[in-house]
DNA sequence: ATAATTACCTTACACCGTAAGGTAATCCTT
DNA sequence: AAGGATTACCTTACGGTGTAAGGTAATTAT
């Protein structure tokens, strides 16, 4: 009973034309596997399984798993939506960070990787450069631009991380608490907990973002006028 | 030439009285190893090496590595400084979150674990319960308490994570950019980058925290008066 | 002193990332 | 079309991981 699978591409001896491995195919499959099994359980062997190839074949296209993970970071950042040209200042920054949260939520398990890694790749730096440019172009000095950029980054990164932690596979403590225990032993968590569910996330996120952005807008208005 | 080490405790056949393994000793050693080798390289065998015992001996005190990690989370949260009784409302919350950042920065590599795990342990819930209580006790309704708590949490978690990522072992991309490349290809990152170093972190962190806390203070003042 | 219990160790297994080198498919040249 | 070169993929193997199963040594209880 030789293995026969009429679905999907199949390398090795199986019939069906060998679908060539490419960096893009590998990256896409990696995202799938990560979201299916969680970041901790993601391995080159499971990725190979998804790709119907051997683990070491991946190494012809990426010199190491770390290089692959870097490519996933870049691919994630490439998903960021463009900023409309005619959008004015504080809103430009808003759509960038709202977009960042959106791409993060699309891949909760992978975001756990992204959040603990410095965005050091050339492409990531290009993205960061554009964001920081938004602050400098409206007249903020370097120091203030740095502060405001990081401030917003903190908030959005923290928010997205917290939200993705709720969705990502794994990452929960070993002993879990029942609803009854919660009500009895942690009344405040229980009371507020009604507003911790996913349908409240948008409201919470935008509430904080609004606070930070309106402060930034106020600061921008105090800036010496810029030539048009 | 039998191994002889006059330092430290030594189990197994080495002379020197066998220092008994305890959960506390294991936890403390785990923190040390994690900060020495980084979260990814942390293993039960390296932990055993530090404790002069065998890996499996740890399993007598913790049923799994996951249980140990939970204990590390609890131990970290237990380090949070207490809130002085006489401190008024918005400042109470400030010291809690400032304290959270402080304990995070003390163990950068471990914080990478904490940040992607839900604080679900009984002790962690106790801590969270106390924080949320601060909002409810001054009169915020459950929904607002939930919002403000999470908002602040997002910011502080994101800030601490970003700062610890700068210190923690590992977590950088594979190909690193030189200073010259940075100046040429990423002028905005380069300009703002002067204000990204560690000595600027406090200023940035408190700037954002102040913005959020003063908004919260404003909201608190609009609350119907509470009986003393 | 002996039995029971606790604490720790040994061995082994399935899985991980990946170095080294082999084989098969493709392309390039004639 | 044939032969050679190059690329793409696979096989094997190594040292690492968490931990199940069961042994041994130390401590405590009787």
Nearest by CB: B189 against A129, A154, A157:
A129
Flag if B125 and A195 touch (Cβ within 8 Å). no
Residue B8 has a pLDDT of 43
Residue A7 has a pLDDT of 33
Chain B partners within 8 Å of A129 (Cβ) = 185-189
Distance to chain B for A194, nearest Cα, Å: 8
User: Contact, B42 vs B90, CB < 8 A?
Assistant: no
For range B139-144, the mean pLDDT: 97
User: Contact, A135 vs A148, CB < 8 A?
Assistant: yes
Distance separating alpha carbons of residues A225 and A186, to the nearest angstrom: 52
Q: Residue B226's pLDDT band (boundaries 50, 70, 90)?
A: low
Structure tokens at B160: 């601490």
Residue B228 has a pLDDT of 46
> Which among A189, A195, A180, A185 is positioned nearest to B133, based on CA atoms?
A189
User: Contact, B110 vs B76, CB < 8 A?
Assistant: yes
Residue B10 has a pLDDT of 57
Residue B224 has a pLDDT of 81
Residue B145 has a pLDDT of 98
DSSP tag of B84: P
What Å value separates CA A18 and C1' C30?
29
Distance separating alpha carbons of residues B58 and A28, to the nearest angstrom: 39
Task: Choose the CATH number for B74-221 among 1.10.357.10, 2.60.40.10, 3.90.950.10, 3.40.50.880.
Answer: 1.10.357.10
Distance separating alpha carbons of residues A33 and A44, to the nearest angstrom: 10
Task: Choose the CATH number for A1-62 among 1.10.540.10, 1.10.10.60, 3.30.70.20, 2.60.40.420.
Answer: 1.10.10.60
Flag if B132 and A176 touch (Cβ within 8 Å). no
By percentage, how much of chain A surpasses pLDDT 70? 91
The C-alpha angle A36, B62, A45, rounded to 5 degrees, equals 30
Distance separating alpha carbons of residues A105 and A202, to the nearest angstrom: 12
Distance to chain A for B167, nearest Cα, Å: 11
pLDDT tops 50 at residue B3:
no
Flag if A187 and B129 touch (Cβ within 8 Å). yes
The number of beta carbons lying within 10 Å of the beta carbon of residue B143 is 15
CB-based contacts of A140: which residues, under 8 Å, 6+ apart?
A: A148, A219, A220, A223
**How many residues does this entry show for chain B?**
228
Task: Establish whether the CB of B84 is closer than 7 Å to any nucleic acid atom in strand C.
Answer: no
User: Contact, A169 vs A161, CB < 8 A?
Assistant: no
Task: Establish whether the CB of A59 is closer than 7 Å to any nucleic acid atom in strand C.
Answer: yes
Residues A176-211 have pLDDT tens digits of 889 999 999 999 999 999 999 999 999 999 999 999
Flag if A212 and B211 touch (Cβ within 8 Å). yes
Q: Compare B31 and A2 and report the one with higher pLDDT.
A: B31
Task: Choose the CATH number for B23-62 among 1.10.1330, 3.40.1130, 1.10.1040, 1.10.10.
Answer: 1.10.10
Residues B89-119 have pLDDT tens digits of 999 999 999 999 999 999 999 999 999 999 9
Domain extents in chain A: 1-62, 74-221
Query: What ipTM was estimated for this complex?
Result: 0.93
Give the count of Cβ contacts less than 8 A between chain A and B: 223
Chain B partners within 8 Å of A100 (Cβ) = none
Q: Residue A59's pLDDT band (boundaries 50, 70, 90)?
A: very high
Instruction: Tell the residue number behind the tokens 């409309």, with chain if given.
Output: A84
User: Contact, B47 vs B110, CB < 8 A?
Assistant: no
Concatenate the DSSP letters of all residues of A107-169 into one string: SHHHHHHHHTS---SHHHHHHHHHHHHHHHHTT--HHHHHHHHHHHHHHHHHHHHHHHHHHSS
Flag if B129 and A161 touch (Cβ within 8 Å). no
Task: Establish whether the CB of B59 is closer than 7 Å to any nucleic acid atom in strand C.
Answer: yes
Q: Residue A174's pLDDT band (boundaries 50, 70, 90)?
A: confident
């Amino acid at each position: 009973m030789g293995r026969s699978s009429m679905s999907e591409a199949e390398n090795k001896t199986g019939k069906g034309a060998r679908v060539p491995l490419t960096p893009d195919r590998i990256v896409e499959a990696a995202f799938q596997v990560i979201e299916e099994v969680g970041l901790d359980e993601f391995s080159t062997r499971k990725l190979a399984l998804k790709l119907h190839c051997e683990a070491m074949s991946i190494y012809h296209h990426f010199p190491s798993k770390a290089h692959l993970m870097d490519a996933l970071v870049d691919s994630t950042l490439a998903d960021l939506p463009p900023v409309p040209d005619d959008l004015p200042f504080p809103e430009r920054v808003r759509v960038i960070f709202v977009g960042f949260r959106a791409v993060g939520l699309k891949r909760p398990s992978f975001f756990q990787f992204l959040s603990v890694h410095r965005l050091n790749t050339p492409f990531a730096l290009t993205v960061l450069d554009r964001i920081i440019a938004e602050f400098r172009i409206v007249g903020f000095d370097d120091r203030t631009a740095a502060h405001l950029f990081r401030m917003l980054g903190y908030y959005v990164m923290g928010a997205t991380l917290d939200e993705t932690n709720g969705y990502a596979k794994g990452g929960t403590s070993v002993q879990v608490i029942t609803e009854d225990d919660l009500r009895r032993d942690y009344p405040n968590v229980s009371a507020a907990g009604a507003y911790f569910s996913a349908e409240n996330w948008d409201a919470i996120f935008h509430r904080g973002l609004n606070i930070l952005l309106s402060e930034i807008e106020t600061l921008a208005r105090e800036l010496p006028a810029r030539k048009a």
